[in-house]
Chain A
């Protein structure tokens, strides 16, 4: 019975992964004259300063965006969990950024941040065109812009996960804490947060893995620039493979990211996941 499923996995997941791995073991230019280079590309990657820089940028992006998204998401969840008039509309509105395709959202942010006709400059400076800031031309601000766009787009997703976590905390538990003398802050700190831990960990798991694979935001907004300021590892891999045509080395980068993700996922599933899924024995 497992055969059709296994076939599916083999054809669509295993084969491409294995083929990519094999590709990374050959010299850059495909064709009959390509030569086997073994782990040569991997050795090159270890020495490649651009790759190192890309890795650091990616790490920074993952850390910053994940932390901000968890904070924002928790905030959003706490707000839309409250009972108020029009809560349904607010809940729907919050999800809009998440529903927009990343490419569209990135394009929108690129327009908003444009140095000549961008809405953000217009709002900040109005007619004083001389004061307009070329946001995406500054290394730090471009990096910030990418993080901002990602946080804007994905916070509602973490918000949704956290909201689900909030909804399973029984109202009676809060009542008990109130009668027990806990103030609003104490209830949040001692009841809400600890009971939200599973939801927060799930969100963390999804977001880190997702953020590591960031590509489209960078592709649309900055093309990795200015300089290599926003060149994340996936974009570097893409550039190497398709722009420079270095088939072997480009795949090497992809395979490395793939392996890193696999290890990270395994680590999560083993540590966080087991805590989430398993109940302590009675």
Chain B
């Protein structure tokens, strides 16, 4: 087993720079998720870790050893590919054995490992079949088996569940989590699915346009998004973000976005008289204000609540809860609440949310609001 460290990784294809100064560390035995929209460079980063693609600058360390000059076959890693990449001409057994054979492991060892792995993944019935005789889910298991059977120091997953249907994806997600607990091997997992990232990762790195936007535990990423991109990317439905301007007066911050005006109690200085953070030192400027749909309610207002009148545009009833699309002062606002059987589209309502659930971003950076 081994940890992973990336130092200032850069990658350019021709003139296009796809990775900008990416650095992070993954502790031994941790489950690390690279999350981002397609084209953000996460798969390229994974291929660089695997040694399938050379980085333009920076270095990769696996288990404390610099592997920049180590070719892929010698990095002792295993990778699960998006399209499984099973060897179509080989049976499941031969697929599992392939990596061990290439490394000239003795036959009894290979047999024992195959038996062990196929039991673990419940694929022993499939050993004699060819990949094309398997369902998508079975192929997925075999692809994982092919990685596990070699007992590598590091697992790399490139969107391994994206080709499965929704139900299978959820169950495989659970299995993957169990598998990680059982094996205890370091795993790096690339996905664009925030639900996978939130449920699987010890740590999530959110990427966009070749840059790391934020690295943190899932709850950190969710509760304290570092910038509007992360705020908007995590959560379902995504966070309501209002782009507008702010002005500071003595006690409050006044935020305007179109017709929407909000006053937020805001201290420009903490108790010791220092500004709580740097970006908002200016008295006014542009800002982004965010509120998660699940923090919006239609309950009676409390003292520390933002209260805002609006009209219901559309209600999506999901059974357990409902997604309500509102128009408030000319701006769209999405709320996720428990089902509200009395409300109809077109109704006028008052939406509320706790002041401390607001997210404020100035200069694309999170500004912590003082807890109230």
Residues of chain A touching chain B, judged by Cβ–Cβ distance below 8 Å, are 170, 172-173, 175-183, 186, 190-191, 194-195, 197, 279-280, 282
Contacts and interface: CB of A to CB of B under 8 A. Distances in A.
Contacts of A178: 51-52, 71-73
B102 A176 contact: no
A177 B132 contact: no
Interface stretch (B80-88, B244-252, B278-286, B350-358): B80-88
B81 A180 contact: no
Contacts of B85: 170, 172-173, 175-176
B89 A180 contact: no
B89 A172 contact: no
4 closest Cβ pairs, A-B complex: A180-B99, A172-B85, A176-B85, A181-B73
B89 A195 contact: yes
Interface of B: 47, 50-52, 71-75, 77-79, 81-83, 85-89, 98-99, 102-103, 130, 132-133, 146, 150, 156
B132 A279 contact: yes
Contacts of B73: 178-183
A173 B87 contact: yes
Contacts of A170: 83, 85
Residue from B72, B74, B133 whose CB has the most chain A CB atoms within 10 Å: B72
B247 to A, nearest CB: 54
A177 B99 CA distance: 7
Contacts, number: 73
Contact of B89 (A175, A176, A194): A194
B135 to A, nearest CB: 10
B51 to A, nearest CB: 8
Contacts of B52: 175, 178-179
A179 B77 contact: yes
Given A182-B73, A182-B102, A183-B73, A176 B87 contact: yes
Nearest to B103: A181
A176 B79 contact: yes
Contacts of A181: 73-74, 99, 102-103, 150
Contact of B102 (A173, A180, A279): A180
A182 B82 CA distance: 20
A197 B156 CA distance: 31
Contacts of B47: 175
B251 to A, nearest CB: 59
Given A172-B85, A191-B87, A179 B132 contact: no
A173 B50 CA distance: 14
26 contacts: A172-B82, A172-B85, A175-B47, A176-B81, A176-B85, A176-B86, A178-B51, A178-B72, A179-B52, A179-B72, A179-B79, A179-B99, A180-B78, A180-B150, A181-B103, A182-B73, A182-B98, A182-B99, A183-B73, A190-B87, A190-B102, A191-B87, A194-B89, A279-B132, A280-B133, A282-B133
